[in-house]
């Protein structure tokens, strides 16, 4: 009986040890699982950061390169993204003349932008004839600008009828155009604008004019 009792007590003491061993084992596995999960998430985050840094560098290389340097190269590069199971990688493929066409279009648009200068010739009241001073002004303007084509428009003040002012404005434009043609300048258009387009309503003399617009 006594040995049986001791065995029973010995068996009673062994139960808590087994429970302690089981709990430590469970704790070990829980910690191991947490470490694995944390490591995977950290690796994925680092890979994403590296991919974002690499993509930023590639974009900077593409955009930050001066257009003059791009034009010198025989080809440009296009950057594509290839997604794998773990991270994103960049693959470089050659693309011929990708940036040259927009660059040529930009140059064409800038070249079509009109640039002009205007010379104003003033006339006395109800007059269309050019005097010596006005002729010298026209000749000096031609020698300084060397125009190839010009547009001439005549104007009047508000005195007189609408019909008369329209006729007078056209006569002034034709007189100036004739002087330009004698100097070898091509006159593209000759127009007269009577009672309109006043530049100063308080000073009638400033509206009795003809304007020479030079296309540069």
In the block, tokens 């109800």 appear at: 126
Q: Tell me the pLDDT of the chain (216 aa) as tens digits.
A: 444 444 444 444 444 444 444 567 777 778 878 777 766 555 555 555 555 444 444 433 444 444 444 444 444 444 444 444 444 444 444 444 444 545 554 454 555 555 789 999 999 999 999 999 999 999 999 999 889 899 999 999 999 999 999 999 999 999 999 999 999 999 999 999 998 899 998 999 999 999 999 976
Long-range contacts of 187-191 (CB under 8 A, 24+ apart): 187/149, 187/150, 187/151, 187/152, 188/149, 188/150, 188/151, 188/215, 189/151, 189/152, 190/152, 190/153, 191/151, 191/152, 191/153, 191/154
Predicted pLDDT of residue 40: 57
Q: What pLDDT sits at residue 175?
A: 97
In the prediction, which pLDDT does 30 show? Answer: 81
Percent helix / strand / coil, the chain, rounded to 5: 55, 20, 25
Q: Name the residue among 159, 162, 161, 151 with its Cα closest to residue 123.
A: 159
Task: State the CATH class of domain 115-215.
Answer: alpha beta
CA angle (80 as vertex; 95, 64 as ends), nearest 5: 70
Tokens 């104003």 belong to 120
Where are the chain's structural domains?
2-103, 115-215
């Amino acid at each position: 009986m006594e040995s049986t009792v001791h065995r029973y007590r010995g068996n009673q003491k062994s139960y808590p040890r087994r429970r302690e061993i089981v709990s430590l084992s469970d704790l070990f596995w829980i910690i191991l699982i947490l470490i694995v999960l944390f490591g995977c998430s950290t690796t994925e985050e680092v890979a994403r950061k590296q991919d974002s840094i690499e993509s930023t560098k590639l974009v900077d290389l593409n955009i930050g390169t001066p257009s003059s340097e791009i034009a010198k190269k025989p080809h440009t590069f296009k950057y594509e993204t290839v997604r794998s199971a773990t991270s994103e990688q960049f693959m470089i493929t050659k693309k011929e003349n990708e940036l040259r066409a927009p660059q040529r279009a930009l140059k064409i648009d800038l070249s079509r932008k009109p640039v002009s200068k205007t010379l104003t010739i003033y006339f006395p009241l109800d007059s269309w004839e050019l005097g010596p001073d006005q002729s010298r002004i026209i000749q000096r303007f031609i020698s300084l600008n060397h125009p190839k084509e010009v547009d001439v428009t005549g104007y009047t003040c508000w005195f007189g009828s609408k019909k008369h002012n329209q006729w007078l404005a056209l006569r002034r434009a034709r007189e100036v155009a004739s002087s330009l043609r004698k100097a070898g300048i091509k006159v593209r258009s000759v127009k007269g604008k009577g009672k309109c387009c006043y530049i100063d309503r308080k000073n009638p003399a400033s509206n009795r004019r003809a304007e020479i617009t030079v296309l540069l």
